[in-house]
Structure 1
Amino acid sequence: MQQYFLELEASASIPPTLVSLSQGDSHHLLTVLRARTGQEIYVVHQGQRYLARLVGERAGLAQLEVIQRIEVDTELPIQVTIACGLSKNDKLDTIVQKGTECGMASFQPLSLSRDVVRWKDGKSIQKIDRLQKIAQAASQQSKRLVVPRVSSLKTLDQWLQSVDDYDLKLVAYEEEAKQTTSYSLRQALSLGQKGQKMAIVFGSEGGLTQEEVDQLRAKGFITCSLGRRILRAETAPIYALAAISYQFE
């Protein structure tokens, strides 16, 4: 069944019995899907899912009657922030889309020393907006109850000023795969618990410098290996989220 997120004020409550979809979602439902009066869909507001029925159109907006609240929980039992360096082409699109499907709570793009891509100041806001829209679409497709927040681009120094509230902080570091005494991802995840907040950092194609790893360690990050094989920049976060899902769900 199709699902959409309602664009109501955060303080708004449901009912009201009648609600409207956004212009973009109305176009998708009425024009692309050719929905007819009486068709039932899911709508989500403030992390709650509701069953609703299409009752008409007004000024191009789909009008829905809210029928009942649906008790369901589709979120990971641990809040995961994925922090990544800037990768080439559409790799960040893939990370945000698939990361959303796998349950990440937020995404933090980082400007790192070995990034092969640099965002110009005038383009950064546009790129963040694009990634946020990708997260929204992926949340609707995967029937999430929340849309992951895509934060503005930060340097590692800037971001590390705001990481103290994370309960578990990990950094995927390929050099750890060469160490017999290193933490595996499984061992690192065993330090976490349901209900906690976790951050996990990944480099871009060029990886992380030793200085960056030392900075992260100084802020309480634990370096861990994702296994003996070197994963692509766009694969590593999804691999980690799958392991997190297996560990905590």
Structure 2
Amino acid sequence: MTGRLPALLASLGRRLPSDRLVDLQRHLHQAENPDSPLLDRWSASHPAAGLAVQLTTLRTAWRDEAPQLSGEALALALATAAEAEKEMAPPAELVVSGPTSPAIPVRLTSGIAVDVIRSARASLLIASFAAYGIPEIVTELRAAAERNVRIDLLLERTTASARAFGPLGEHVRIWHRAASDDRTSLHAKVIAADRHTALLGSANLTGRGLSRNVEIGVILRDSGAVGRLVDHMRWLTGPDGLLHRA
């Protein structure tokens, strides 16, 4: 295969969780060509941000670059790309706040949070239960906005965490659960850069959480896992999710 098709197959293989990937391969096996309605039905039954566009782009490249290939051939290529990605996925890296020990090499949460924000080129998705006392993070977010990074902040309404980001004004989009929803709280702590890197852990976006409290986290650089995490968080801000624009 030449052109865009190999890269598009690899990208799709990285994005899809194993069950969806197997289901797509099954539909491809039965598809005679890129215009098969089987692929339309698969796309309609798997709503996720940007997934339909990604599949449409793949089908267009298939039609333009390799119409002689069967759906079965693409299914095999997709499976091969996914297996190769599994073998290449980097391990999770431990992150801590508070005191470190000689037990295992770790990095401090405050430094990692800045690194992840700086690595974003298109989007940042950040979730935190509490947020205050983080001027360095606010400065980094301002710099990200200045390089045209889209920034979405998913914040717990009851902790007034949005106040920490007030200086950023319209450079960020803030999301809360509805005021009438007292059944849940937004307790996740995530910083995700594009679809390639994510910091997950127990630390809130507070000065103490990022530096002094005893907190544990991991940094993921597996684009497949990070992409699925981002898709889930984006779903929370979608029509069927529980978060609404503040």
Regarding TM over 0.5, the answer is: no
TM-score by length of 1: 0.29
Structure number with the higher helix fraction is 2
Structure number with the higher strand fraction is 1
